Chains A and B, each alone.
Chain A
Amino acid sequence: MLSYTLKRLLQAIPTMLIVITISFFLMRIAPGGPFDGERALPPEIEANLMAAYHLDEPLPMQYLRYMGNLLQGDFGPSFKYKDFSVTELIMQGFPVSLEIGGLAILLALLLGLPLGVIAALKRNSTIDYLVMGTALAGIAIPNFVIAPILALVFGVLLAWLPAGGWNGGALPNLVLPVIALSIQQIAYIARMMRASMIEVLGSHYIRTARAKGLAESQVIWRHALRPALLPVTSYLGPAVAGIITGSVVIEQIFGIPGIGRYFVQGALNRDYTLVMGTVVFYGALIVLMNLLVDLIYSALDPQIRHDD
């Protein structure tokens, strides 16, 4: 298992290198630069800026400089948020995104899995239609619609919860963003769980288990649940990486200081270092999550072994 993990991590290095290189050059190809804006700068000032950020050097030179700094763990200064380095921005924002995203995933699993199982067991019943209908609505309604409605109803009209703000992560401030972020996940997971549960319930070994006279609860808990979780697990890998790196919509609507906004703002501002920082961070997270999923897989399914 250990050697497998190490091997996978080593394999990730060329992947990351390719990701970094492609992103670096794509970012530079994009029209407009970090200092283009509503106001054209006098050429002398633009020259000062370019020199200060080494943007006046040839591109290969800039690339080597960036890679050199990266090897030392230095993502460079943000072009836009000058009082923070990119590392500081990510380190300050990630715990916030992790907290919101982690809670959202947890909530999604706690609600989505049982709902999916119940719908599968009560297939074609009113409950099934109700759960699946609601799930479809959850998938169809985007979170930039759900979030303002939640803020309006619970923040402004009922005034039960703050309409926004982080407030150091106080519980009342967490509720609405976590709900808004998890609704779509609950829906996905419930639908996925239902489908895979139905498939598993129709398989031979379940029929055998039932034929042996096992109680229905035992059939489900001991034999059906684990294999039915496999598709959900593989979905969760990249999904978790995506969710814990924040959502620009949720962050902007609820005023949450996560890192989701940096993916969008960094790109729009042509904040080269910030974009690269988020890409490297996100890429590494995806690699890690996929590895984690593979390890969980082997725990769930004895047929999958990573001994080599």
Chain B
Amino acid sequence: MTQIRTPLAGAIALASALLVSPVAAQTLNLGVTGELASFDTSQVSGGIWESQILMDVYEGLVKKAPDGEVLPGMATSWEVSDDGKTYTFHIREDAAWSDGEPVTAEDFVFGWQHLLAPKNASKYAYMLYPVVNAEAVNTGKKPLDALGVASLDDGRTFQVELTSPTPYFLQLLTHYTAYPAPKHAVEEYGKNWVKLDNIVTNGAFTPEEWVSQSRISVSRNPEYYDADEIALDGVNYYTIEDRNAGVSRFRSGELDIMREYSSSMYGMLQEELPEATHMAPYLGSYYYVFNHREGHPTADPKVREALSLVVRRKVLSEQIMGGTFLPSRSFVPEGVHHYDVQQIPQEGSMDERMARARQLLEEAGYGPDNPLHLRLRYNTNDEHKKIAVALAAMWRPLGVEVEMINSEATVHYQTIAEGDFDIARAGWIADYNDAENFLSLLHSGVGNNYGAYSNAEFDDLTDQAARTLDADEREALLEQAEQTALNDYAVLPLLYYVSRNLVNPAISGWEDNVEDDHPSRWISFDQ
């Protein structure tokens, strides 16, 4: 839909729309902060903006409600075997691709094999590793058809075998790695199936136009089983990397929704656009990694405890970040399904904690003559810098000297993966709503365990949880694992992320949720 700027233009547009159809076209103009890497879900790079577009054009076995709850999608129902390792999904009768071809279990088998095929080099293939033989297939040790998935009953039933009960499996299925791929289109067009002339999708919308680095337009998919329930005729996703530019374009009415504004604008927006400015808890953890490798001062638990004791998270949240992050003493963020977060120990008044921290550092061998020198790394960004500077200031009374090193994200993560730091900034946004997604980062030998934290008890508890079918029992194990890590000061949790969106108040069907997922199929404009 074109922009309506003046009353006259609005009247003309409205009149012409009335001539064409009885109801004015409703197109959602949505600003996203990055460019989609590909409509082939095996080639996606992992940006938050990518899942927004992909969840609008594709649909997995399950889908998300406006509040983030899991609803039946391409599958109308499913059964789980007693051992929790076999899932049987019943594909809906009226499931169809945008060219009218039926969506079958074959498309899921094909899509998952496509994702795991080594030649497709999918970055997120590991998401499906809970499936039997997935890892072996992905590493080329077994053929594609060894994957533990099957199409039964002429494609009406999709069966998945898991290596162990995976209680978060349904959550995992909301991720784009679990979407189907149109087997018939890939067979017909090969690699070019993803070109806009050839592509077919099975979601509420289907892609129409892609101006690289500017706009992706999608229109309502008439073949979608719920097409009559969809209020929008289409969605334009505008790539807007500059956060301030996004705010300007929202304020000028060019955008109905802007996904993310910078934290520094929160105060101004709250004042000027109170109804449009949304901020809500988000499943993301902002933390600092302690380097546990030998030879680093942070390998000493006393040093880690001392540093942790004197951090004032409320100051970081409110004074440094203007209320756009929430103070956090846990590694798993609040709001995770079926989980109560644990807290890093921090007792007593600030003076008492300061005294205790001084004593700990002394015991660890640091003092005025031998000050603790820390190499702190963060990836170049204003917000990260502010927090690093604030932390250094909080540690200064202990006589800690902080050497700050910043580098662009690529270099930062490579350097900390190699262990060249004492303490480093990191963050984790949930892939799926489960505590395991966070806690697995602290398991020995895991790639994202940048600090090389290793505790046999912790590993044991999480491994045990992975084998446990009972939800309550599993929760208890995971909570115990988190407390173990926090008692070790494995990492320094600082803040929870929040989601920040600008939403036109005339829009219905938007609900803030902890995963910040907002499928456009629920969105409508109030008349």
A44 on the B face (CB < 8 A): yes
> Which of B194, B253, B408 contacts A83 (CB under 8 A)?
B194
* B118 at the A interface (CB under 8 A): yes
| B447 on the A face (CB < 8 A) | yes
> B46-73 interface mask toward A, CB cutoff 8 Å, 1 = contact, 0 = none?
1000000000000000000000000000
Q: Within the complex, what minimum Cβ distance (angstroms) separates B407 from chain A?
A: 8
Do A83 and B39 contact each other (CB < 8 Å), given the known contacts A32-B410, A49-B121, A166-B215? yes
Q: Say whether A283 faces chain B, with CB atoms less than 8 Å apart.
A: no
Contact A270 B410 (CB under 8 A): yes
Do B215 and A39 have beta carbons less than 8 Å apart? no
Judged by a CB distance under 8 angstroms, whether A242 is at the interface is: no
Taken together as a complex, chains A and B put the C-alpha atoms of A31 and B409 apart, in Å, by 11
> B5, B36, B38, B254 — which one has the most chain A CB atoms within 10 A of its CB?
B254
Are the CB atoms of A81 and B245 closer together than 8 Å?
Answer: no
Within 73-93 of A, Cβ neighbours of B (below 8 Å) are at 80-84, 88-89, 92-93
Residues of B within 8 Å of A255, CB to CB, are: 214, 238-240, 242, 245, 249
User: How far is A254 from B245 in the complex, measured between Cα atoms in Å?
Assistant: 7
CA–CA, A33 to B413, complex, Å?
Answer: 11
Report Cα–Cα, A89/B194, bound state, in Å: 16
Contact digits for B68-95, partner A, Cβ 8 Å, 1 yes 0 no: 0000000000000000000000000000
Is the CB–CB distance between B121 and A52 below 8 Å? yes
Contact present for B252 and A40 (CB under 8 Å): no
Interface pairs (29), CB distance under 8 Å: A31-B411, A31-B415, A32-B411, A33-B410, A36-B413, A36-B414, A37-B46, A37-B410, A38-B413, A40-B413, A40-B417, A40-B450, A42-B126, A45-B138, A52-B119, A52-B121, A81-B212, A82-B37, A82-B40, A82-B43, A83-B37, A152-B248, A156-B252, A164-B254, A251-B213, A252-B241, A255-B245, A257-B213, A268-B410
Quick one: closest B residue to A254, CB to CB? B245
Q: Mark B274-289, 1 if CB is under 8 A from A, else 0.
A: 0000000000000000
CB distance from A89 to the nearest CB of B (A): 6
B252 touches A51 (CB 8 A): no
Cβ contact within 8 Å between A257 and B249: no
Q: Hey, which bits of chain A sit against chain B, CB under 8 A? A: 31-33, 35-45, 47-49, 51-53, 80-84, 88-89, 92-93, 148, 151-152, 155-156, 159, 162-166, 251-258, 261, 268-270
A42 vs B43: C-alpha distance in the bound complex, in angstroms?
A: 16
Chain B residues, Cβ within 8 Å of A40: 413, 417, 447-448, 450
Q: How far is the CB of B378 from chain A (nearest CB, A)?
A: 13
Given A48-B138, A83-B195, A156-B251, A41:B447 Cβ within 8 A: yes
Q: Which residue on A lies nearest to B45, using beta carbons? A: A80
Within 8 A of A (CB), among B222-264: 238-242, 244-245, 248-249, 251-254
B437 → chain A, closest Cβ, in Å? 11
Given A37-B409, A51-B118, A83-B39, A159-B5 contact (CB < 8 Å): yes
Q: How close is B223's CB to chain A, nearest CB, in angstroms?
A: 22
Q: Is there an interface contact between B252 and A163, defined as CB atoms closer than 8 Å?
A: yes
Please state if B252 and A162 are interface contacts (CB–CB under 8 Å).
Answer: yes
Whether the Cβ atoms of A31 and B254 lie closer than 8 Å is: no
Q: How far is the CB of B250 from chain A (nearest CB, A)?
A: 9
CB-CB under 8 A from A165, the residues of chain B are 214-215, 238, 249, 254
Q: Bound complex: CA of A163 vs CA of B248, how far in Å?
A: 6
Whether B135 sits at the interface, judged by CB under 8 Å, is: yes
Number of residues on chain B facing chain A (CB within 8 A): 56
Which of B120, B213, B408 meets A268, CB within 8 Å? B408
Q: Is the CB of A253 within 8 A of B245?
A: yes
- CB–CB B248/A155 < 8 A: yes
B8, CB-defined interface residue at 8 Å: no
Residue of B nearest to A155 (CB): B252
Nearest to A38 among chain B residues (CB) is B413
Chain A interface secondary structure, helix, strand, loop or mixed? loop
With A36-B410, A40-B448, A93-B213 as known contacts, state yes or no: A164 contacts B427, CB within 8 Å.
Answer: no
B245 to A89, Cβ gap below 8 A? no
In whole angstroms, how far apart are the Cα atoms of A36 and B379 in the complex? 13
* B35 interface hit (Cβ, 8 Å): yes
Determine if B26 is an interface residue (Cβ-Cβ < 8 Å): no
Question: Would B242 and A253 count as touching, CB distance under 8 A?
Answer: yes
Cα–Cα, bound, A166→B409 (Å): 29
A258 to B409: give the CA distance in the assembly, Å.
24
- Interface: B172 (CB within 8 A): no
Say whether A151 contacts B248, CB under 8 Å.
yes
Give complex CA distance A256, B245 in Å.
11
On chain B, the residues within 8 Å of A166 by CB distance are 211, 214-215
| A50 (CB) vs chain B CBs: closest residue | B121
Closest 7 CB pairs of A and B: A40-B447, A32-B410, A257-B214, A52-B121, A82-B38, A82-B43, A257-B213
A269 — which chain B residues lie within 8 A by C-beta? 410
> Measured between C-beta atoms, what is the minimum distance from B333 to chain A in Å?
16
Contact A148:B244 (CB < 8 A) given known A39-B448, A41-B123: yes
Say yes or no for B125: interface residue by CB 8 A criterion.
Answer: yes
Contact code string B123-163 (vs A, CB < 8 Å = 1, else 0) = 10110000000010011000000000000000000000000
- The CA of A88 and the CA of B210, in the complex, are separated in Å by 12
B121 touches A51 (CB 8 A): yes
Q: Which residues of A contact B254 (CB under 8 A)?
A: 162-165
Task: Provide the bound-state CA to CA distance between A80 and B195, in Å.
Answer: 16
Write out the residue numbers on chain B whose beta carbons fall within 8 Å of the beta carbon of A41: 123, 126, 447
B212 A84 Cβ-Cβ under 8 A? yes
| Chain A residues closer than 8 Å to B37, beta-carbon distance | 80-83
Say whether A156 contacts B123, CB under 8 Å: no
Point out the residues of chain B lying under 8 angstroms from A49, CB to CB: 121, 123
Taking a contact as CB atoms under 8 Å apart, the answer to whether A155 and B448 are in contact is no
Residue of A whose beta carbon sits closest to that of B135: A44
B330 in the interface (beta carbon within 8 A): no
CB proximity of B21 to chain A, nearest CB, Å: 23
Interface residues of B in 412-440 (CB under 8 A from A): 413-415, 417, 426-427
